[in-house]
């Protein structure tokens, strides 16, 4: 979660942005996208207006429907390789060497769509007895759906005027829907993936409320005040990022007896370590930096959040995780085995060859860009990699340069990589740098015959501004992945 102020869309409408797509192509091309009809089970009235035009750098044919996706969610415009439905690609030959690609510019937001009344016959959500999840990224929402899959009383809601779902054993009253509160990020790629994940959540019977949580000054306070009534009544709160300042501000408003923390990538490992040993709720790549007055002010909320998330006698705190995290005493642990993903998608078609998974370590200032370009080129040459699955935060100019210099096809996934890989096609060998996927892909792709290899980050690749903890933390990720999932080692990728 960024530290900027946020702004809430009071009408709770899902606003359109540029969808994930190619990072090169003729300027001015646009992608038509259909308007979304409100899902029958979306009883809060949240609506999705038609998507705006994609940025000038995006090209591709008309959108195609996601297989098995009955509500009509669409895959973003893609210039895909034949037989490759998982994301847009950028062949190196499509752009002359030395050419530049403009950074994506978010398309203007469409006008708000009036919130319609709830369809007759559908129950009004009762947050007093239903769970509420606060999510800020596509991966968080995926993990919330995985949690709900093994937590049946949370969903589904009654759909199309059907009778309420029967209670689960031990539950009194009808099952109530999971309410997902999306605190939307600002970058177009993340917003596009979140829109598609929101459609999948509605398909599963969840109620989705969308807030445009970035923008004007004072928006953080307005968002907190808008959600206060819901948070004051909810009995079970699910959060995806305990390090988020917005979440930390909202936690004191919540009187829930049950709290669940789902994975937000490798942040889970830091979170449990901080709860066990004490300390500020600050991510590793930010620790060691000089604190600003804003950091000091938010430190009060971070301290309160840490106390709220620490197991206590009068409440229950649960960790739902696929990461090698050790919860502190008193915290319940439930393992995420990606059962929903495996039951909903795939198995994938497995291609001969190797796929490479990118990282945003350059964008976060941890890895030197020139080192990264050289390492990726070396890996592609020696392993015969053909495709590069970009992280949603990787910059367009960086991806364009990789395509030009390495000949790799750049794939910008329209969903979290676990779903994209499970849908397929996917290479028989997948190479990854230290990241969440070295722990999640072995679970999502279990039994498919796909081999996953992990490449260590050398100390010499780090920038001078990298946190002192950076190398140790990244090494722990790869070491634990090899131990838990029996992953292969990528041979030394250093080009020198």
One CATH from 1.10.3470, 3.10.20, 3.40.50, 3.30.460 for 342-489: 3.40.50
For 25, the token pair is 């192509």
In 185-342, the DSSP E strands lie at 207-212, 236-239, 258-262, 316-321, 332-335
Provide the pLDDT for residue 302: 76
Provide the pLDDT for residue 252: 84
Is residue 275 within 8 A of residue 331, CB to CB? The reply is yes
Residue found by looking up tokens 């490449």 in the block:
455
CA distance 178 to 198: 12
Q: What Å distances lie between residue 397 and 100, 367, 371, 402, 419, CA to CA?
A: 7, 16, 16, 9, 26
Q: What are the boundaries of each domain within the chain?
A: 131-340, 342-489
Provide the pLDDT for residue 377: 96
Torsions phi, psi of 104, nearest 5? -60, 135
CA distance 172 to 166: 10
DSSP 444: H
Q: How many CB atoms lie within 10 A of CB 100?
A: 11
Helix (H) or strand (E) holding 426: strand 426-432
For 266, the token pair is 């490798």
Is residue 177 within 8 A of residue 205, CB to CB? The reply is yes
CA distance 304 to 213: 22
Provide the pLDDT for residue 374: 96
CA distance 156 to 494: 50
pLDDT in tens for each of the 496 residues of the chain?
444 333 334 334 333 444 444 444 333 343 344 444 344 344 333 433 434 433 433 333 334 444 444 443 433 434 444 444 444 444 444 444 444 444 444 444 333 333 333 333 333 334 344 799 999 999 999 999 999 999 854 444 333 344 444 444 444 444 578 999 999 888 889 999 999 999 999 999 999 999 887 766 777 778 888 899 999 999 999 999 998 888 888 888 888 889 999 988 888 888 888 888 877 767 654 554 556 666 666 667 777 778 888 887 778 999 999 999 889 889 999 999 999 999 999 999 999 999 999 999 999 999 999 999 999 999 999 999 999 999 999 999 999 999 999 999 999 999 999 999 999 999 999 999 999 999 999 999 999 999 999 999 999 999 998 988 889 989 999 999 999 998 988 864 444 3
């Amino acid at each position: 979660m960024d530290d900027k102020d946020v702004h809430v869309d009071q009408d709770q409408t899902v606003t359109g942005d540029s969808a994930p797509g190619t990072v090169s192509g003729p300027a001015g091309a646009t992608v038509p996208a259909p308007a979304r009809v409100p899902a029958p089970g979306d009883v809060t009235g949240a609506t999705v207006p038609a998507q705006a035009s994609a940025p000038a750098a995006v090209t591709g044919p008309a959108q195609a429907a996601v297989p098995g996706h009955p509500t009509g969610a669409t895959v973003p415009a893609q210039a895909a390789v034949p037989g490759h439905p998982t994301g847009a690609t950028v062949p190196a030959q499509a752009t002359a060497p030395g050419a530049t690609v403009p950074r994506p510019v978010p398309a203007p937001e469409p006008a708000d769509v009036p919130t319609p009344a709830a369809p007759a016959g559908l129950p009004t959500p009762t947050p007093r007895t239903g769970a509420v999840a606060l999510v800020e990224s596509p991966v968080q929402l995926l993990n919330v759906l995985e949690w709900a899959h093994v937590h049946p009383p949370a969903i589904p809601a009654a759909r199309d005027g059907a009778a309420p779902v029967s209670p689960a054993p031990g539950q009194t009253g009808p099952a109530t829907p999971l309410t997902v509160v999306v605190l939307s990020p600002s970058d177009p790629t993340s917003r596009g993936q979140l829109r598609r994940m929101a459609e999948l959540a509605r398909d599963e019977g969840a109620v989705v409320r969308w807030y445009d949580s970035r923008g004007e000054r004072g928006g953080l306070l307005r968002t907190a005040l808008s959600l206060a009534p819901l948070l004051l009544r909810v009995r079970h709160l699910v959060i995806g990022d305990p390090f988020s300042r917005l979440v930390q501000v909202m936690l004191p408003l919540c009187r829930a007896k049950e709290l669940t923390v789902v994975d937000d990538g490798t942040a889970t490992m830091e979170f449990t370590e901080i709860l066990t040993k004490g300390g500020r709720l600050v991510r590793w790549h930010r620790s060691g930096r000089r604190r600003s007055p804003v950091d000091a002010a938010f430190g009060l909320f971070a301290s309160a959040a840490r106390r709220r998330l620490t197991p206590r006698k009068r409440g229950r705190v649960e960790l739902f995780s696929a990461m090698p995290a050790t919860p502190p005493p008193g915290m319940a642990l439930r393992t995420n085995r990606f059962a929903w993903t495996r039951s909903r998608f795939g198995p994938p078609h497995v291609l001969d060859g190797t796929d490479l998974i990118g990282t945003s370590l350059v964008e976060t200032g941890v890895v030197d860009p020139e080192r990264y370009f050289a390492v990726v080129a070396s890996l592609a040459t020696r392993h015969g990699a053909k495709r590069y699955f970009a992280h949603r935060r990787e910059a367009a100019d960086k991806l364009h340069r990789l395509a030009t210099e390495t000949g790799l096809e750049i794939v910008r996934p329209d969903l979290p990589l676990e779903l994209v890989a499970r849908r397929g096609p996917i290479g028989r060998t997948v190479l990854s740098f230290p990241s969440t996927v070295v722990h999640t892909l072995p679970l999502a792709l279990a039994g498919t015959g796909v081999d996953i290899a992990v490449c260590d980050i050398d100390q010499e690749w780090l920038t001078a501004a990298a946190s002192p903890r950076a190398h140790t933390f990244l090494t722990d990720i790869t070491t634990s992945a090899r131990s838990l999932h029996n992953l292969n080692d990528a041979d030394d990728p250093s080009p020198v």
